[in-house]
A and B are shown apart, each in its own frame.
Chain A
Amino acid sequence: MKISGTTTLPVPPERAYQMMQDPEILAKAIPGCESLENIGPDEYRMKMKMALASFSGAFDGKVKITEQSPPTSFRLAVEGSGRIGFMKGDGLLKLTPIESGTEISYEGDVQIGGTIAAVGQRMIDATAKMMIKRFFEKLAA
């Protein structure tokens, strides 16, 4: 499923770029992230716990940052799997300076499989959008 959108952060692109490469900040901003552990250059092992409505599940996954061209764009890949299913997302983030800070536009693909996708197909889009929204809200906070 394609996901795209734009959002803004109240900091200049250099700072916004730096924040999104910082594992400590990422760990706080990724919804449900419990730990982020460096396992290679720009590659992290992530443990996350998701609770939504009556769903809840633990995911074990990876976050990888590639195609870095600071401070204008980079590619973020996130994948995770757990007992209730798996998810995989890959997107290009572009940063543009604006008056109030930085505009971030993202465009990517999200795949979800397993039990959660089989029964929750109609909820995936709304859930993915909510998680992205929360991520940027926490990043801005």
Chain B
Amino acid sequence: MIPQAFDYSAPQTLEEALGLLASGAKPLSGGMSLIPMMKLRLAAPDHLVDLRGLKELNYIREDNGTLRIGAGATHYTVESSALVRAKCPLLAETASHIGDVQVRNMGTIGGSVAHADPSADYPAALQALEAKLVLKGAKSERTVSIDDFLVDTFTTSIEPGEIIIEVIVPASGPQCSYEKVVQPASGFAIVGIAAQLNKSNGKISYARIGVTGLSNRAYRASAAEKALEGTTGSAQDISAAAALVADGVDANSDLFASAEYRRHLTIVHAARALRSALA
């Protein structure tokens, strides 16, 4: 349980951090995934750059119909922020489901998203919110959609030397829900479904559904969204839409849940998420 020796830098500015990362060092944020891997010696980075001292990555602010969340915001900060709860309740609710209280106090939104664990909670909500990520390197800055960012299991479109500095989500209404089947040992989602809806004048005018845990990466269930939009959101409408959430998806299987069972859980819990969003 003792990691291999490594160098450690704790820069105070983003510029300094990006300079160090450009030379091949590994970024450390909350350390909730990386540190356990290092203690088991499954990971042995030579040089860690601790991003936790970067005050410029720790903010949540409203900007022209969006929320901009600094990558260093912990899950607890997002979960408890009055601004996020009021302007993007889906994200606050999702954050409250991550791991346990210790993990939520240490883990950060940027670290979690960059890790791209296929069972992480945030990606479901970020897909449903069509979030954007700002990536910055020593000499570059670009904005990518969450869908383009998540490539495959633990694989993202981030370039060496780049880190996520900001997560941008649209200000969104209260008709939302995150439903998760939790793996009790790890706290990760066996499956997790995030729904963001808008129902006005008796019709669902807008539906976004993000799914995590089922397959190699979190995705948007577009067929289910289309099936739901334009309906009144009756019990039949919800069942019909939920039945489509796992369509065409190559489901994962492990000791805890077979592919077939995961698929079933996804459909059942998607219906619950839709019902609860409309309740």
Residues of A within 8 A of B (CB): 1, 52-57, 83-84, 115-116, 119-127, 129-130, 133
Contact = CB atoms under 8 A, between A and B. Distances in A.
Given A54-B33, A126-B118, A84 B153 contact: no
Contacts of B26: 54
Contact of B41 (A84, A120, A123, A125): A84
B105 interface: no
Is the contact region of chain B dominated by helix, strand, or loop, or is it mixed? loop
Contacts of B256: 122
User: A-B pairs with the 4 shortest C-beta distances?
Assistant: A53-B154, A126-B153, A54-B43, A54-B37
Contact of B42 (A115, A122, A130, A133): A115
Interface in B211-259: 215-216, 250, 252-256
Interface of B: 26, 33-34, 36-38, 40-45, 115-119, 152-155, 183, 186, 188, 215-216, 250, 252-256
B37 A121 contact: no
B115 A54 contact: yes
B216 to A, nearest CB: 5
19 contacts: A53-B33, A53-B115, A54-B38, A54-B42, A57-B42, A115-B41, A119-B40, A122-B183, A122-B186, A122-B256, A123-B117, A124-B254, A126-B216, A126-B252, A127-B153, A129-B252, A130-B152, A130-B153, A130-B155
A128 to B, nearest CB: 10
A115 B40 contact: yes
